[in-house]
A and B are shown apart, each in its own frame.
Chain A
Amino acid sequence: MNRNTAKNIANRIFSIVSNEGGTTAHVFMSQGQGKSVSVRNAAIENFDDSTDVSIGITVWFGERTSHIAGNDLSPTSVETLVKKACEIARAMEPNPFALIASASLWPTNVDATIQSLNLSDTRELSVRELFDLAHIVESAGLAVPGVERTNDASAFFSRSTDFVFTSDGFETEWESSDYGYGASFIASKDGQMEEDGRYDGMPHFSLLVSPDEIGRIAGERTVRKLGAVSIKTGKMPVIFSRDVSGLIKSSLAGAINGERIYEGSSFLCGKLGERLFPEGVNIISDPSIPVFGSVPFDNECVARRRIEFVKNGVLTSWSLDLKSAKQLGLTTTGNAGTISVFYMENGKSSPEDLIARIPYGFYVTETMGHGPNRTTGDFSSGASGFLIENGKLGRPVNGATIAGNLLEMYQAVTPANDLEIGRYHSPTIMVNEMTVAGE
Chain B
Amino acid sequence: MSLRNTQVENRFLGQFKTDEAGLLATVHDALLGADDGELYVEFDETESLVLRDGKIESPCFSPMQGFGLRRVKGTQTGYMKSDVFDLGILRSLGKDMQTIFSNDGTYIPAMTTPQTALYIQSTPLTRDLKERIDLLKAIDAYVRRDQRVKAATVSLVGRNCEVMIARPERLVSEIRPIVRLNMEAIVTNGKDSVSVNFGFGGRKRYDDLFDPAVWQKHADKMLADATALLSAKPCPAGQMPVVLASGWAGVILHEAFGHSLEADGVWQQTSTFKDSMGQQIASPLVTVVDNGTIPNRRGSLSFDDEGTPTQRTVLVENGILKTFMHDRISARILGANLTGNGRRDGYRCRPIPRMTNTFMENGASDPKDIIAQTEHGLYAEVLGGGQVDTASGKFVFEVKLSWLIENGKITSPIKGATLTGTGGKALLAVDMVGNDREIDPGIGTCGKNGQSVPVGVGQPTFRIKAGGLTVGGTEVSG
A residues sitting closer than 8 Å to B (CB atoms) are 40, 43-53, 58, 65-72, 81, 84-85, 88, 91-93, 95, 97-98, 127, 149, 151, 186, 192-195, 233-235, 259, 262-265, 269, 327, 368-371, 373-376, 378, 380-382, 384, 398-405, 435-439
Contact = CB atoms under 8 A, between A and B. Distances in A.
A192 B57 CA distance: 50
B312 interface: no
Given A66-B59, A403-B472, A265 B77 contact: no
17 contacts: A44-B101, A49-B79, A58-B58, A67-B60, A68-B60, A69-B64, A72-B65, A151-B268, A193-B392, A194-B391, A195-B390, A368-B389, A369-B398, A370-B418, A381-B396, A381-B472, A401-B470
A164 B391 CA distance: 44
B295 interface: no
Interface in B44-64: 52-53, 55-64
Interface stretch (B29-37, B107-115, B154-162, B380-388): B380-388
B126 interface: no
Most chain A CB atoms below 10 A, which of B65, B235, B395, B418: B418
A260 B402 CA distance: 25
A326 B272 CA distance: 53
Contact of A438 (B65, B128, B470): B470
A435 B398 CA distance: 17
Given A44-B100, A263-B186, A369-B418, 17 more contacts: A49-B80, A70-B62, A92-B129, A195-B392, A264-B188, A264-B193, A368-B396, A369-B396, A369-B420, A376-B415, A378-B416, A378-B474, A380-B416, A398-B394, A404-B474, A435-B473, A435-B474
Nearest to B271: A193
A400 B317 CA distance: 30
A438 B476 CA distance: 11
B195 A437 contact: no
A151 B270 CA distance: 6
A43 B97 CA distance: 15
Given A50-B348, A369-B387, A369-B398, A380 B235 contact: yes
Contacts of B150: 263-264
A48 B195 contact: no
Interface residues of B, number: 77
A-side interface mostly: strand
A85 B391 contact: no
B96 interface: yes
A88 B473 CA distance: 47
A71 B57 contact: no
7 smallest CB-CB distances across A and B, nearest first, come from: A401-B472, A263-B151, A195-B391, A382-B396, A369-B396, A69-B62, A375-B195
Contact of B129 (A40, A91, A384): A91
Nearest to A65: B58
A373 B62 contact: no
Given A43-B76, A263-B151, A375-B195, A399 B422 contact: yes
